[in-house]
Amino acid sequence: MKLLLVESPTKSRTLKKFLGKDYEIAATIGHIRDLPEKEFGIDVEHNFTPKYVIMPRRREIIAGLKKASTKAKTTVLATDSDREGEAIAWHLAQILDLNGAKPYQRIVFHEITETAIKEALKKPRRIDLNLVGAQQARRILDRIVGYRLSPFLWKKVARGLSAGRVQSVAVRLVVEREREIEKFKAQEYWSILASLQKTVKKSSQRFEAWLVKKIGKVIPKLGIKSKKETDEIVKDLKGAEYKVANIEKKAIKRNPLPPFTTSTLQQESWKRFKFPAKFTMRLAQNLYEKGLTSYHRTDSLNLSELSLFAAKKFIIETYGKNYWAGFLRKYKTKAKGAQEAHEAIRPTYPARTPEAVRVKAELDEKQCRLYDLIWRRFIACQMNQAIFDSTAVEIEAGKYVFKVTGQILQFDGFLKIYPMKFKETELPALEKDEILKLIKLIPSQHFTQPLPRYTEASLIKILEENGIGRPSTYAPIISTIQARNYVEKDEKKRFQPTEIGLTVNDLLVEHFPRIVNIKWTAEMEEDLDKIAQGKRKWVRAVREFYEPFMENLNKKYKEISKTVVQTKEKCDKCGKPMVIRMGKYGKFLACSGFPKCKNTKPLPVKSLGIKCPECKKGDIVEKRTRKGKKFWGCNRWPDCKYATWQEPEK
């Protein structure tokens, strides 16, 4: 009897369908050992040796695994194929004494199918200590920052705060975007649209063309800067003849998008369904463990030959030969440090359509939606291009030129199963030198807009573009910065920094610039990749970070004093002056006699100048919940209990 170990019960149930009575399958329920919660747990003096302890909730599981391993002829470690999975396999080997007399096998696979599992069992290997070292280095680096920098924030800013090596960079991105928005000055610009019609009586179809240039001079987007300039152009155009000067027709081919990686799946899932990254990963994990999709933590666009030929067969048989691309489409990964040995996220069997698996695989509605998205994206990436007939028409009017472009779908190609927003605009049949009738000119005033706040999708995208984090970390990063109350979502579900987020960020930027330096953090990720590849030693990488970090931290303890703002208000319990302090959820009033007097009060709030719509007497003021979430309510509370999450408009 062989014992095969995986992380989750769902995964074990799927594997039991493929493996016979010769295998007993058990689940660890994730990680089994970690650094201790209430102590640093790293022996700095002895090469940063970590002190691992069995997680309290895993003790009973470990006891069962030890018993099963003793009876087993061989223990097979079948945890996930990434660094976290390799680390879990290593911890199991340590706890079950598999490096001693007991034999073990380490197998990896990127999809839970009978073929993949049986092939993996034919090619067992030893635990990859380079991957384990990379995971261990990340964990230790994060522990150093968390356990050494967080107490500094408690002392200098407010108790209960914490700092994270990668999360702090994400907060910085949100803060800097917010300040760009605050500093932004809108620029006025104008556009002129001509509503036109053919003069032939049989045709009454109207269309609109934009003013694009003065003959010999292109008018840029911000070229018409005022109403005065606009009025002068409109005056020049008075009585002008509108003549078709040029017609250009061509076919435009649109290529399908590549299959999903972790990052792009999280982005598209947010755009389409508003699923948070953490929730998307949970759904993707369910699909993987049920054997429906390939491994969901990946930055590779690689696709197996088997999957490509299966997609070809499905497309030709279902939609016809003209819908297949005509060749096996292969995509090149652009992400830094991408693991090409992994595959993109795809369905395990292309023939398992969303409709086919919906009931059979016992998926809930949200799992179905994500599977449908993954399936369609993969099938589409092997389909033919979509072809549009495009017509661009230039119309001369005096010394000005207007332009209009029409676009009609000729062949849907991959759009047949993966719809995308391509606007179709049909133009009337026009001929060169044809004279058109002007219905009216439509001048419009516009103002430039600042870059928007980050959404979950755009924040993940910028993190990936800058080499911050890896597939397994995007969702935890976003969850953590919200849980710490450093950022919050506005009414449009976009990120904005909180008051405490701004304070902590500014302190780190000024005094610990390396920690929140985007380039340096990306270089650290590259170091971790080199450790995983056996090109760098993890102890040296950790030491090179630790020594200058601690030197600077000790220096800042002496240099920086906690800022306390005195107020004229007296404590109503002991009579001492009240001071403004910073807490996890922002500023508040506290007695200067602390810790003898622990009296606190919320800061006085400024009225928005809006009367309460319910009692008509009080004013609407900004408030926060105990967890720091912003809302608005009547200042006559508790006499008036009006409250809303939506920011009131004046």
Q: How far is CA 284 from CA 275, 294, 296, 487, in A?
A: 12, 9, 6, 26
Omega before 638 cis (within 30°)?
Answer: yes
Model confidence pLDDT, tens digit, residues 44-72: 999 999 999 999 999 999 999 999 999 99
Closest to 372 in 3D by CA, of 256, 255, 260, 257: 260
**Judging by beta carbons within 10 Å of its beta carbon (0-12, 13-18, 19+), is residue 138 exposed, middle or buried?**
buried
Beta strands in 592-647 (DSSP E): 600-602, 607-611, 619-624, 630-634, 643-644
Question: Encoding tokens for residue 184?
Answer: 């932004």
295 is catalytic: yes
pLDDT for 629 equals 72
470: how many CB neighbours lie within 10 A of its CB?
27
The b/e string for 517-536 (b: 16+ C-beta within 10 A; e otherwise) is bbeebbebbebbbbbbeeeb
**Using an 8 Å Cβ cutoff, are 532 and 134 in contact?**
yes
DSSP states of 615-626: TSSSEEEEEE-T
- For residue 454, the 8-state DSSP code is P
Model confidence pLDDT, tens digit, residues 168-204: 999 999 999 999 999 999 999 999 999 999 877 666 6
Residue-range domains of the chain with CATH: 2-127 (3.40.50.140), 136-183+452-559 (1.10.460.10), 188-255+386-447 (2.70.20.10), 262-381 (1.10.290.10), 605-650 (no CATH)
Report, in this order, helix, strand and coil percent for the chain, each rounded to 5.
40, 25, 40
pLDDT for 361 equals 73
Q: How many CA atoms lie within 13 A of 189 on its CB side?
A: 13
Closest to 480 in 3D by CA, of 40, 54, 167, 185: 167
Residues (pLDDT < 50) of the chain are none
Catalytic residue among 295, 371, 454, 486: 295
pLDDT for 504 equals 92
End-to-end alpha carbon distance in the chain:
73
Closest to 286 in 3D by CA, of 354, 342, 364, 339: 364
Model confidence pLDDT, tens digit, residues 122-173: 999 999 999 999 999 999 999 999 999 999 998 888 888 889 999 999 999 9
pLDDT for 335 equals 61
CA pair distance 345, 342, nearest whole angstrom:
9
Tell how far CA 585 is from the center of its chain: 25
pLDDT for 650 equals 65
pLDDT for 202 equals 61
pLDDT for 333 equals 82
**Judging by beta carbons within 10 Å of its beta carbon (0-12, 13-18, 19+), is residue 277 exposed, middle or buried?**
buried
